[in-house]
Amino acid sequence: MGLAMDTAALQAFLARDFGQVAGDFTVDSVGSEGLVLRLKVTERHLRPGGTVSGPSLFGLADVAMYLAILARIGPVALAVTTSCSMDFMRKPAAGRDVLAQARVLKLGRSLAVGDVFLFSEGVPEPVARAGLTYSIPPAKT
Protein backbone atom coordinates (compact mmCIF):
# COMPACT_ATOMS: atom_id res chain seq x y z
CA MET A 1 0.00 0.00 0.00
CA GLY A 2 1.35 3.43 -0.95
CA LEU A 3 1.63 6.37 1.38
CA ALA A 4 -1.10 9.00 1.53
CA MET A 5 1.12 11.54 3.34
CA ASP A 6 4.88 12.13 3.20
CA THR A 7 7.15 13.64 5.85
CA ALA A 8 6.39 17.25 4.90
CA ALA A 9 2.62 16.65 4.80
CA LEU A 10 2.67 14.96 8.22
CA GLN A 11 4.71 17.79 9.77
CA ALA A 12 2.35 20.38 8.24
CA PHE A 13 -0.69 18.45 9.53
CA LEU A 14 0.80 18.36 13.01
CA ALA A 15 1.49 22.11 12.94
CA ARG A 16 -1.97 22.95 11.62
CA ASP A 17 -4.13 20.59 13.69
CA PHE A 18 -2.02 20.03 16.83
CA GLY A 19 -0.07 23.25 17.20
CA GLN A 20 -0.05 22.86 20.99
CA VAL A 21 2.47 19.97 20.72
CA ALA A 22 3.85 20.30 17.17
CA GLY A 23 6.99 22.09 18.38
CA ASP A 24 7.98 19.04 20.46
CA PHE A 25 8.14 16.65 17.51
CA THR A 26 9.90 16.22 14.18
CA VAL A 27 9.00 13.55 11.64
CA ASP A 28 12.44 12.15 10.77
CA SER A 29 11.25 9.66 8.16
CA VAL A 30 8.22 7.83 6.85
CA GLY A 31 7.97 4.85 4.53
CA SER A 32 6.10 1.64 3.90
CA GLU A 33 7.92 0.03 6.85
CA GLY A 34 6.83 2.71 9.33
CA LEU A 35 7.63 6.12 10.72
CA VAL A 36 10.35 7.64 12.90
CA LEU A 37 9.29 10.54 15.12
CA ARG A 38 11.71 12.59 17.25
CA LEU A 39 10.90 14.09 20.63
CA LYS A 40 13.08 17.18 20.92
CA VAL A 41 13.80 16.79 24.63
CA THR A 42 13.83 20.01 26.63
CA GLU A 43 13.72 20.83 30.34
CA ARG A 44 9.91 20.58 30.38
CA HIS A 45 10.08 16.88 29.37
CA LEU A 46 12.20 15.94 32.38
CA ARG A 47 11.16 14.53 35.74
CA PRO A 48 13.11 14.70 39.00
CA GLY A 49 16.42 12.94 38.49
CA GLY A 50 16.87 14.48 35.04
CA THR A 51 15.31 11.70 32.98
CA VAL A 52 12.54 12.00 30.39
CA SER A 53 9.16 11.62 32.09
CA GLY A 54 6.75 8.76 31.47
CA PRO A 55 4.01 11.11 30.20
CA SER A 56 6.46 12.56 27.66
CA LEU A 57 7.38 9.07 26.46
CA PHE A 58 3.71 8.06 26.25
CA GLY A 59 2.94 11.22 24.25
CA LEU A 60 5.77 10.42 21.84
CA ALA A 61 4.52 6.85 21.29
CA ASP A 62 0.93 8.01 20.84
CA VAL A 63 1.74 10.77 18.34
CA ALA A 64 4.12 8.47 16.44
CA MET A 65 1.44 5.80 15.95
CA TYR A 66 -1.16 8.43 15.04
CA LEU A 67 1.11 9.84 12.33
CA ALA A 68 2.11 6.36 11.08
CA ILE A 69 -1.58 5.60 10.55
CA LEU A 70 -2.27 8.96 8.89
CA ALA A 71 0.69 8.39 6.57
CA ARG A 72 -1.30 5.42 5.24
CA ILE A 73 -4.90 6.74 5.31
CA GLY A 74 -4.49 10.51 4.92
CA PRO A 75 -5.36 13.41 7.23
CA VAL A 76 -8.15 11.89 9.33
CA ALA A 77 -7.97 14.20 12.35
CA LEU A 78 -10.63 12.32 14.32
CA ALA A 79 -8.81 8.97 14.49
CA VAL A 80 -8.38 8.30 18.22
CA THR A 81 -6.45 6.04 20.57
CA THR A 82 -8.66 3.30 21.99
CA SER A 83 -6.00 1.23 23.73
CA CYS A 84 -2.36 1.48 24.77
CA SER A 85 -0.08 -0.80 26.72
CA MET A 86 3.40 0.51 27.48
CA ASP A 87 6.49 -1.14 28.93
CA PHE A 88 9.22 1.12 30.32
CA MET A 89 12.45 -0.86 30.10
CA ARG A 90 15.33 1.48 30.92
CA LYS A 91 16.11 5.08 31.72
CA PRO A 92 16.54 7.30 28.63
CA ALA A 93 20.08 8.61 28.14
CA ALA A 94 20.58 12.11 29.53
CA GLY A 95 20.81 14.99 27.09
CA ARG A 96 19.56 13.06 24.03
CA ASP A 97 16.42 13.26 21.96
CA VAL A 98 14.13 10.22 22.03
CA LEU A 99 13.20 8.53 18.75
CA ALA A 100 10.01 6.55 18.21
CA GLN A 101 9.95 3.82 15.56
CA ALA A 102 6.27 3.22 14.80
CA ARG A 103 4.94 0.33 12.73
CA VAL A 104 1.36 -0.31 11.66
CA LEU A 105 0.72 -4.03 12.07
CA LYS A 106 -2.90 -4.14 10.90
CA LEU A 107 -4.92 -1.47 9.16
CA GLY A 108 -8.63 -2.16 8.88
CA ARG A 109 -11.60 0.04 8.00
CA SER A 110 -12.39 0.91 11.61
CA LEU A 111 -9.33 -0.13 13.66
CA ALA A 112 -5.57 0.11 13.30
CA VAL A 113 -3.08 -1.78 15.48
CA GLY A 114 0.60 -1.05 15.78
CA ASP A 115 3.70 -1.00 17.92
CA VAL A 116 6.22 1.66 18.79
CA PHE A 117 9.75 1.24 20.11
CA LEU A 118 11.38 4.23 21.79
CA PHE A 119 15.16 4.78 21.73
CA SER A 120 17.51 7.39 23.10
CA GLU A 121 19.24 8.84 20.05
CA GLY A 122 22.41 6.86 19.32
CA VAL A 123 21.65 4.07 21.82
CA PRO A 124 20.66 0.67 20.33
CA GLU A 125 18.65 -0.69 23.30
CA PRO A 126 15.02 0.49 23.51
CA VAL A 127 13.90 2.53 26.51
CA ALA A 128 10.23 1.62 26.06
CA ARG A 129 7.75 -0.31 23.93
CA ALA A 130 4.10 0.47 23.31
CA GLY A 131 1.28 -1.44 21.65
CA LEU A 132 -1.53 0.83 20.47
CA THR A 133 -4.94 0.47 18.86
CA TYR A 134 -6.67 3.35 17.09
CA SER A 135 -10.28 3.79 16.08
CA ILE A 136 -10.71 5.20 12.58
CA PRO A 137 -13.95 7.10 11.95
CA PRO A 138 -16.09 6.00 8.98
CA ALA A 139 -15.28 7.71 5.70
CA LYS A 140 -17.74 10.41 4.72
CA THR A 141 -19.63 9.59 1.55
Q: Please tell me the predicted confidence (pLDDT) of residue 55.
A: 95
What does the DSSP assignment read for 102-122? EEEEEE-SSEEEEEEEEEETT
* The pLDDT of residue 109 is above 80: yes
CB 24 within 8 A of CB 39: yes
* The pLDDT of residue 2 is above 70: yes
Q: What's the rounded mean pLDDT across residues 81-108?
A: 95
* The pLDDT of residue 120 is above 70: yes
Query: Is the CATH number 3.10.129.10 carried by domain 7-135?
Result: yes
Average model confidence (pLDDT) across the chain = 94
Q: Indicate the pLDDT class of residue 139, thresholds 50, 70 and 90.
A: confident
Give the Cα separation of 28 and 36 in Å (integer): 5
Pick the closest to residue 18 from 77, 80, 86 (CA basis): 77
Tens digit of pLDDT for each residue in 14-57?
999 999 999 999 999 999 889 999 999 999 999 988 899 999 99
% the chain with pLDDT above 90: 87
